[in-house]
Amino acid sequence: MQQYLELVDATLSDGAYKPNRTGVDTISSFSEHYEVDLEEGYPLLTTKRMDGYRWNSMIHEVCWYLSGEAHIRNLREETKIWNAWADDEGRLDTAYGRFWRRYPIPDGDARLEGESWPEEAHRWVTTEADGRRTFDQLQYVIDTLSDSPNSRRLVVNAWHPANATVSTLPPCHYSFVFNVQGDRLNCHLTQRSGDVALGIPFNIAAYALLTTVIAQQTDLVPGTFAHTVVDAHVYCGRGERGEWYAENLRKLQSRLSDVDERAEYLAVREWLESEAPAEADGDERLDHVPGLLEQLSREPLERPTLAVADVPIDDLSYDDVELRDYESHDGLTFSVAE
Ligand SMILES: Nc1nc(=O)c2c([nH]1)NC[C@@H]1CN(c3ccc(C(=O)N[C@@H](CCC(=O)O)C(=O)O)cc3)CN21
Ligand SMILES: O=c1ccn([C@H]2C[C@H](O)[C@@H](COP(=O)(O)O)O2)c(=O)[nH]1
């Protein structure tokens, strides 16, 4: 998918050096945006291996979002990608699926005079076991797409300001909007923070799958996936290795601006490895720049396709999603900044 390579290049070429809460520094760029036409195939990256265990992690992550579960006790049986942010009981303070399927509705005194709120018996309201009321945003979108496909209110929002302020990891991909044009179901995702090497390839695959599933449920065809990433960043290492970029980013960017052909990114990588201090023991591959330069040197292959069983979103499971005609370059390994 060429758009991803352009996102990587733009983040490195236009970004600024930016330390952050993880202690692993970044090269960060403001407001990156791209669009992919899902009718031209499924945008799983081909410039690194995304099938096998990565595919397994991604599908189980999407099924976990759809489940609305507030914990990862089932998800962690399938993949470890969320373990670092959960406690031993699998409790996780990040509200993705939980808010997609069960967004809290204010009750009693929390409701101000004159505000409109749905009744208990309303179509998308659930009364939880503890008596709280919640709203199923995803089912609202699916039902409204069938009844009023021209609606401009097809928003799913995972951001609750009061919760986000105190959460250990507030949602990164926090709001998405569906929009129908003709028979095409388009999806626009806003992400406040995007880890270009590790998170974004999963986010692209997940939302392209979600759009495909919802199109199938509503007799539409998957259209454009549009993605805005407010802080798009490439992690560039910890300690001396990260700080090297503070002084040397301009030199890296000047070399990047001289690249005419993909293969030349490899020479930039060689220069970088010869100039930058080695990553400390235990910090290997927290600098994502060399791996991404290698990825930039690779030509995207033909896009695969997706076949999804026609089952309601509540029943979707790993075996319902089939990846067809996928070929890729070799895998690339990056370490995750916690
Ligand atoms: N720094 C950071 N980047 C992220 O992308 C990220 C977070 N933190 N925190 C919360 C979630 C967890 N996500 C993750 C976490 C790990 C991988 C990861 O390690 N991916 C490996 C494959 C690992 C596997 O499937 O077992 C990869 O090579 O893509 C990906 C996304 C996305 N999010
Ligand atoms: O789906 C996801 C989830 C997380 N990320 C990345 C983006 C950031 O690198 C970290 C979150 O750190 P914050 O300090 O809360 O921004 O996780 C992602 O890319 N995709």
Residue 337 lies in a domain: no
The string of pLDDT tens digits covering residues 122-156 is 999 999 999 999 999 999 999 999 999 999 999 99
Which tokens hold the place of 26? 């970044």
Residue 288 has pLDDT above 90, yes or no: yes
Closest C-alpha to 325, from 44, 60, 56, 58: 44
Residue 243 lies in a domain: yes
Q: Judge if ipTM > 0.85.
A: yes
* 236 labelled catalytic: no
Question: How many structural domains is the chain composed of?
Answer: 1
Closest C-alpha to 133, from 141, 146, 122, 142: 122
CA of 107 to the centre of ligand 2 (A): 31
The string of pLDDT tens digits covering residues 66-121 is 999 989 999 999 999 999 989 999 988 777 899 999 999 999 889 999 999 998 88
- Residue matched to tokens 């352009």: 6
Residue 206 lies in a domain: yes
Residue 154 lies in a domain: yes
* Pocket flag, ligand 1, residue 198 (CB < 6 Å): yes
Closest C-alpha to 45, from 8, 84, 75: 8
What domain range is 302 assigned to? 2-111+119-324
Residue 41 lies in a domain: yes
Band the pLDDT of 311: cuts 50, 70, 90: very high
Q: Which backbone phi and psi does 300 adopt, to 5 degrees?
A: -60, 140
Residue 317 lies in a domain: yes
Task: Tally Cβ neighbours within 10 Å of residue 67.
Answer: 17
The CATH number assigned to the domain holding 162 equals 3.30.572.10
Ligand showing the shortest atom-to-Cα distance for residue 194: 2
Between CA 138 and CA 123 the distance in angstroms is 12
Mean pLDDT over each residue of the chain, to the nearest integer = 96
> Hey, whose CA ends up nearest to atom 17 of ligand 2?
195
Residue 336 lies in a domain: no
